[in-house]
Amino acid sequence: MQILEVAVASSGFSDARPAVAERNAGSSSTTVLVSRRESFNAAHQLRDPSLTEAENRRLFGKCAGLHGHNYTLEVVVAGEIDQSTGYVFDLKALSDVISHRIIEDVDHRNLNTDVPWLEGLIPTAENLAAVFWERLRSELPVGSLRSVRVWETDKNWAEVGERV
């Protein structure tokens, strides 16, 4: 997997990384960001199966037990405005990609046991964001995916983006 930047945040901190609009050298075109937000509900537990119950409890606290979250997934794509449509990207089409590649597989599932493409991963928001990134990137125009942010609660998120 290509090295990705993962950012995490918690309540009380602002996002210190401002959105950057890149300009193509030698061109007057401007990159515009657009975003689609989707949600899903899923159960998970933070545990390393190679550790004992006590060790998992020590590492992950109460998150070692099975519990659920109402997740929000925010996907940002970047590009130039298509003069014929006024769109950078058809957000209904982006919604369809997110649903097909991610939501249909994870909604109302146990992320530890029910999703083949999450097998072997501790389903933290960081790991989810990294895997979601890969699954979306392969379905979108090359270079258009800018960031994937997974909100686990309204206070905690993890984000993956290309390292600029």
**Inter-CA distances, 122 with 22, 23, 46, 49, 125, Å:** 34, 38, 6, 9, 9
CB nearer to Ni ion: give 29 or 41: 41
Candidates 33-41, 57-65, 100-108, 126-134: pick the segment binding Ni ion (CB under 5 A).
Answer: 57-65
Is 152 noted as a catalytic residue in this protein?
A: yes
Is 53 noted as a catalytic residue in this protein?
A: no
Which residue, chain included where needed, has tokens 């769109």? 87
State the nearest-atom distance from the C-beta of 67 to Ni ion, in Å. 6
**Coil, helix or strand for 118?**
helix
Read out DSSP for 29-84?
-B-EEEEEEEEEEEEE----TTS-HHHHHHHHGGGGS-EEEEEEEEEEEEEPPPTT
CB nearer to Ni ion: give 100 or 108: 108
State the nearest-atom distance from the C-beta of 145 to Ni ion, in Å. 25
Distance in angstroms (rounded) separating the CA atoms of residues 64 and 44: 9
Catalytic residue among 74, 126, 152, 159: 152
CA–chain centroid gap for 10, Å, is 16
Is 126 noted as a catalytic residue in this protein?
A: no
Candidates 56-64, 79-87, 89-97, 153-161: pick the segment binding Ni ion (CB under 5 A).
Answer: 56-64
Catalytic residue among 108, 119, 139, 159: 108
Catalytic residue among 38, 63, 134, 162: 63
Candidates 61-69, 127-135, 141-149, 155-163: pick the segment binding Ni ion (CB under 5 A).
Answer: 61-69
CB nearer to Ni ion: give 71 or 133: 71
CB nearer to Ni ion: give 51 or 140: 51
CB contact at 8 A, 37 and 74: yes
State the nearest-atom distance from the C-beta of 44 to Ni ion, in Å. 6
CA torsion through residues 31, 37, 38, 43, sign: positive
Distance in angstroms (rounded) separating the CA atoms of residues 154 and 84: 38
Q: Which residues bind Ni ion (CB under 5 A)?
A: 63
Catalytic amino acids?
63, 108, 152
